[in-house]
Amino acid sequence: MPTSILLSKELGLKSNQPTWLQLPAMMRMAMTSPNVMRTFRPDWLAPFNFFYFPLLSDLGGYPSGFDRSNFKFITPPESNRTKWSTLKGVNLLGTIDGRTYQISMSPDPSQRKVIPESMRIILRQYLEHPEAKSLGPDGAACLSTTAGLLRRTSILAGDIIPVGKETDRHWEQGEDPSLLDFKLHEFRERRKSVAADPTDIKRWEKFGVRPLMRKSGLSQKVVYAILAGAPVRPRTLAAFKKACHEFNVGTSTVF
C-alpha cells in the first residue's frame, strides 16, 4: 500500500488515501539491553517486553524544556490503532517522579503533551530523502530534487580503523532501544585536524566540486567535507589549498 501511494503522488495520479495515514508513526522495540534496563523503567515495562517508541516531531513535538537529547518517549504496546493518538507514556531518560505524558496529534499551547509525526509526514519525507548511495545523472551528489537515471557512486577507502565487535549485536537486534543512542566505538590514534578558513571556502566553492576533485585528486567525500568546514588532516588541507591555488592561477577569472 505505501508503495502505490508514493508512486501515485510522484506521478500525479489520484489514489485512495487510507485512514492510517493520520496515525502517529510508531516503532516497536524490546527492553533487552542491560544498559537501558538500568535507566528509569516504568512498572509496566518488564525486561524483554515490547513497547512503542513514537517518532516525535522536531518542530514542537517535545514538552517544554526537553529535546531529542534528553527526552525519549515510550508507551505501552497497544494493538488497537485507534487509541494510538491518545496514548500515555513516560520519558525513558527521566527520573522516578511518576510523570506521564500524553500523545496529541495537534499543537499543544501548554507544551505538556508530545506531538509525534504522522504516517503521512513520514511518507512525504521519504519522497524528499536524497539517495546517498548514488550520484545524479551529471555525476554530482544525489539530492531530493535530482531526477533521471542515477549513477553508481564509488567509495575510496581511507584509513583502516579497528572497531568494537559489539557493533554486530546492535545491528542484529534491530528492536533494541540502545540502537537509538548507537555510537561506533573506534580504536585509533587521535590526530590533529584542521578546518579551512570560511573566507577561503567561499572562494573555493566558485570553482565547483567536480573540477576541484580532478585538480586535487581527492575524493568527493573529502572535498565536500573541506567545503563544509569539517576538520581534516593538515596534509590533506595543504594539498587541497595547493590545487586551488593552481586552479586559480590557471583561470582568467578574478575572485
Nearest-angstrom CA–CA distance, 120 and 17 = 10
3-class DSSP assignment, residue 88? strand
Global confidence as pTM:
0.56
Choice between 159 and 198, residue whose per-residue pLDDT is larger: 198
**Dihedral sign from CA coordinates of 53, 173, 129, 205:** positive
Residue among 188, 144, 141, 146 at smallest CA distance from 164: 188
* Alpha carbons within 13 A on the beta-carbon side of 85: 11
pLDDT at 224 over 80: yes
Share of the chain residues as helix, strand and coil, in percent rounded to the nearest 5: 35, 15, 55
- For the ranges 32-36, 80-84, 189-193, 197-201, the maximum mean pLDDT occurs at 80-84
Q: Nearest 5°: CA angle at 66, between 181 and 108?
A: 125
